[in-house]
Amino acid sequence: MSMNGKTAVVTGSNSGIGLGVARELARAGADLVINSFTDRDEDHALAAELGKEFGVAVRYIQADLSKAEEARALIEKAGVCDILVNNAGIQHVAPIDEFPLEKWDAIIAINMSSAFHTTAAALPMMRKAGWGRVVNIASAHGLTASPYKSAYVAAKHGVVGLTKVTALETAQEPITCNAICPGYVLTPLVEAQIPDTMKKYGMERDEVIKKVMLERQPSKEFATVEQIGGTTVFLCSDAAAQITGTTISVDGGWTAL
Ligand code: NAD
């Protein structure tokens, strides 16, 4: 489906899944607003490169999504938001009784509350345009739990709940809201953990990936950023117009276990 004439705002999109999603939306013809909390020359250069590669308009807008007012300002500055992809997220791993308060607050703010603020700011724009799609990048951890990931699991379950409420509040309008729940995705962040994990377990790369990192992913394959992007494009298509308030797992069977 062509998304010519639509503008997509993708949060946390200067790397990883967000960038992969932005690329697939641009490939489908959407203009883009990409975002992160940094304001480096390379962030703006990335926007220019994407625009050139796909022949669409791409703007980079800096916003620190740990702050409510900046999350809302991102959408206001975008000015138009037909497709909103809430993707920005961070992780911290520690037992509950040792979990640093500032990490809990940051994860809840960035991974969950920012999606509330951007959605609140974007819905009036979607209503005015008479069409809208909200795609929340949750996680297999929005449906299941792992020890030591209290803030992340709480935030991602929260995002799944917010997805359902947004869908119900827009059910009689041409607006949908769904969550994608990826399993382990090979992003630069995950790639960077491989050498250390190889050392820690004294294993080769393939063994570390299959036995340690993908222990809970029955396919024993990473999901790719292109697959998450393709799923987003599908959720924005006419075929998905009656899909709302649900989760789509892209997790190699993780949540079937
Ligand atoms: P990543 O670190 O490559 O990307 C995270 C993005 O969020 C980056 O662009 C970063 O700049 C941005 N970001 C972080 N803090 C921000 C802030 N305060 N304000 C604005 N932007 C901020 O990680 P990723 O693996 O691509 O993760 C993207 C999303 O996918 C996250 O929500 C993550 O929880 C989710 N996810 C990832 C995996 C995986 O295996 N990689 C699996 C399931 C879900």
Q: What DSSP assignment string belongs to 180-224? A: EEE-SB--HHHHTTHHHHHHHHT--HHHIIIIIITTT-TT-S-B-
Residue type, 257: L
pLDDT digits (tens, 9 = 90+) for 33-58: 999 999 999 999 999 999 999 999 99
Cα(138)–Cα(89) distance, rounded to whole angstroms? Answer: 9
18 and 59 housed in the same domain: yes
**C-beta separation of 7 from 80 below 8 A:** yes
Asked if residue 64 has its Cβ within 6 Å of ligand 1, the reply is yes
Task: Give the rounded distance of the alpha carbon of 182 from its chain centre.
Answer: 9
Q: Is the pLDDT of residue 1 over 80?
A: no
* pLDDT computed for residue 71 by the predictor: 98
Number of domains comprising the chain: 2
Same domain for 133 and 207, yes or no, is: no
Per-residue model confidence (pLDDT) at position 2:
87
The predicted pLDDT at position 223 comes to 97
- Quick one: average pLDDT of 1-26? 96
Give the atom of ligand 1 at the shortest distance from the alpha carbon of 140: 43
User: Residue 104: what pLDDT?
Assistant: 98
246 SS3 class: coil
Distance of CA 224 from the midpoint of ligand 1 (Å): 14
- Which range marks the domain in which residue 234 is found? 7-184+223-250
Residue 32 and residue 135 in one domain: yes
What's 40's domain CATH number? 3.40.50.720
The preferred substitution site among 14, 24, 90 for testing ligand 1, maximizing ligand atoms within 8 Å of CB, is 90
Place of tokens 């990931």: 149
Long-range pairs for 101-106: beta carbons < 8 A, 24 or more residues apart: 103/151, 104/150, 104/151, 106/66
Q: Among the atoms of ligand 1, which is closest to the Cα of residue 228?
A: 30
What's the pLDDT score for residue 193?
84
Residue 136 lies in a domain: yes
Answer yes or no: is 112 within a domain: yes
Let me know whether 201 and 154 are in one domain.
no
pLDDT recorded at residue 189: 81
Do 138 and 209 share a structural domain? no
Question: What pTM did the predictor assign?
Answer: 0.98
- Residue to mutate, 23, 87, 92, ligand 1, most ligand atoms under 8 Å from C-beta: 87
Ligand 1: nearest atom to the Cα of 182: 43
Q: Are both 174 and 93 inside the same structural domain?
A: yes
Write down the pLDDT at residue 109.
98
User: pLDDT digit string (tens) for 98-128?
Assistant: 999 999 999 999 999 999 999 999 999 999 9
139 within ligand 1 shell (Cβ under 6 A): yes
- Nearest atom (ligand 1) to Cα of 190: 41
Q: Are residues 13 and 111 in the same domain?
A: yes
Does 135 reside within a domain?
Answer: yes
- For residue 192, name the pLDDT band (cuts at 50, 70, 90): confident
Give the pLDDT of residue 100. Answer: 98
Q: In the numeric block, which tokens belong to residue 199?
A: 């050392």
137 in contact with ligand 1, CB cutoff 6 A:
yes
d(CA 234, CA 42): 30
Q: Look at 114-128, 131-145, 182-196 and tell me which has the smallest mean pLDDT.
A: 182-196
- Which residue(s) pair with 136 in the sheet? 86, 179
Please, are residues 102 and 27 in contact by the beta-carbon 8 Å criterion?
A: no
Beta-strand runs (E) in the chain: 7-10, 31-36, 58-62, 83-86, 132-137, 175-182, 247-250
Please indicate, yes or no, if residue 208 is contained in any of the structural domains. Answer: yes
Q: Specify whether 165 is located in the same domain as 56.
A: yes
Whether 88 is in the pocket of ligand 1, judged by its Cβ within 6 Å, is yes
Same domain, 218 and 246: no
Contacts of 114 (CB under 8 A, 6+ apart): 11, 65, 66, 68, 71, 86, 88
Beta sheet of 83-86, edge-to-edge order: 58-62, 31-36, 7-10, 83-86, 132-137, 175-182, 247-250
Between 61 and 196, residue with greater pLDDT: 61
Per-residue pLDDT, 114: 99
Per-residue pLDDT of 197-254, as tens digits, reads: 999 999 999 999 999 999 999 999 999 999 999 999 999 999 999 999 999 999 999 9
Could you give the residue numbers annotated as active site? 152
Beta pairing partners, 134: 84, 177
Distance between CA atoms of 23 and 225, rounded to whole angstroms?
9
Cα 71 from Cα 210, distance rounded (Å): 37
Residue 214 confidence (pLDDT)? 95
**In the predicted model, what is the mean pLDDT of the chain?**
97
Residue closest by Cα to atom 44 of ligand 1: 139
